[in-house]
Structure 1
Amino acid sequence: MQAQTPVEAASARVRRFTPAQRWVHRATATLMAVCVLTAGCLYLPFLAELVGRRALMATVHEWSGLLLPAPLLLGLASRALRADVTRLNRYGPHDRRWLRSALRRGSDRPAGKFNAGQKLYAAWLAGAVLVMAGTGLLMWFTHLAPLLWRTGATFVHDWLALALIVVIAGHVWRAYGDPEARRGMRTGTVDAAWARREHPLWEPEEEPERRVG
């Protein structure tokens, strides 16, 4: 095999996400953004006065919340997405090392395709969405449960929504600080050097793509 030139080596890219995976991420992010924005219009007086049409905001909020799991469920038809879901649910000794190093702000952070922080974020988000959907249904269909249950559901829903906003803001902030990670989600490929540095235990299933220029 012919040796790569320095320019070719620097330009090597590897496939990280398929179109189906990126579609699921974008659709879920869009629905989550709609949920957060409409919730703001329902709970914050200055936004409620600015937007008005409270009934419409409530309807959009309810349906966008119910549809949140839909992109993932539809995306499970993709073998690549199913493989990533499996990766996100598997933890190994390297994940414990990653978490210890992250807590100590160290540089020894071994990771496969997803690091331990991303796995915890995905698990927490999935659980939070299910709880939000359940409590939201109790608040929406008032005949489903007695008043005491609905009061508890409202309390959990409101405080978990606040926690979701904080956690999602942290996710966005971390993504903003890593342009290559964002490029991977936008285009599907990442720089090979970045992959080796940030995810040294990850072995892409596909052959690297070579780009020059």
Structure 2
Amino acid sequence: MTIPPPDAPLRRFTVAERWIHRATAALLGTTMVTAAFLYLPLLSELAGRRDLLVTVHEWSGIAALVPVLAGLLSRAFRADLARLNRFGPHDRGWLRSVLRRRPHPSAKFNAGQKLYASLAAGGTLVMLGTGLIMWFPRLAPLVYRTGATFVHDWGALLLGALVTGHMWMASNDPEARAGLRTGFVSRAWARRHHELWEPSPDE
């Protein structure tokens, strides 16, 4: 096996993973923008055509699952999902260190990224389930529809806050953004932020 030079870029994400992220972000972003126009009176008046907004909102929400499901065909994507779903002692140490504002080593994904992925995935599924109940009201009794509407509305606010925090964190790390844009990061950045990351041979 050829050993790469110390300063060679390190592959963080494959082309498939980057497109999965972009497509999912675009579809979820569309649901959030249309939701804002549907729920905020000022924006609703500016947009008009409420029926069109509702249709775009519903179908973009359903379609948001497609990139992730298609991504399961990618071995690299499945490997990263396994990393995101696995919490170890270093993750608990990372969380304690963040609260104390001290640096702590992490693997390819730190505990904050793992928590975000879990909350975003769970929140998206909750929004999808409650949205379907609201979309097809005849399939559920009134009490379920009322509960679904309540959960969907508040869930949208919480998910929006979560995504906003994710974007704010990303805005403070240009090289992490470059990793999603190009697929590569510098080895110095990886050693500094993800010291325990052990890249596979193709990385």
Question: What TM-score range do you get, normalising by the shorter chain?
Answer: over 0.9
Indicate which of 80, 105, 109 corresponds to 1:84.
80
Query: What does residue 59 of structure 1 align with?
Result: 55
C-alpha distance in structure 2 between counterparts of 1:170 and 1:142, whole Å: 33
- Deviation of 1:106 after TM superposition, in Å, equals 1.2
Query: What does residue 47 of structure 1 align with?
Result: 43
Query: What does residue 125 of structure 2 align with?
Result: 130
What letter corresponds to residue 116 of structure 2 in structure 1?
Y
- Deviation of 1:203 after TM superposition, in Å, equals 1.5
Identity %, equivalent residues: 62
Indicate which of 164, 177, 187 corresponds to 1:182.
177
When normalised by structure 1's length, the TM-score is: 0.91
Deviations 1:85-133 (A, max 9, x none): 00011111000000000112112x2211100000010011111011000
Higher-Rg structure is: 1
1:197 aligns with 2:187: no
- Structural RMSD (CA): 1.3
- Deviation of 1:12 after TM superposition, in Å, equals 2.6
Query: What does residue 23 of structure 1 align with?
Result: 19
Indicate which of 4, 8, 13 corresponds to 1:12.
8
- Deviation of 1:165 after TM superposition, in Å, equals 0.7
Question: Relative contact order (alpha carbons < 8 A, sep ≥ 6): 1 or 2 greater?
Answer: 1
C-alpha distance in structure 2 between counterparts of 1:52 and 1:176, whole Å: 33
C-alpha distance in structure 2 between counterparts of 1:31 and 1:193, whole Å: 33
Q: Which runs of 5+ in 1 are unaligned?
A: 209-213
C-alpha distance in structure 2 between counterparts of 1:206 and 1:176, whole Å: 30
SS across alignment from 2:10: strand
Query: What does residue 113 of structure 1 align with?
Result: 108
Q: Which runs of 5+ in 2 are unaligned?
A: none
When normalised by structure 2's length, the TM-score is: 0.95
Query: What does residue 211 of structure 1 align with?
Result: none
Does the Cα contact within 8 Å between 1:14 and 1:189 map onto a contact in 2? Answer: yes
C-alpha distance in structure 2 between counterparts of 1:148 and 1:135, whole Å: 13
What letter corresponds to residue 62 of structure 2 in structure 1?
L
- Deviation of 1:51 after TM superposition, in Å, equals 1.1
Matched length: 200
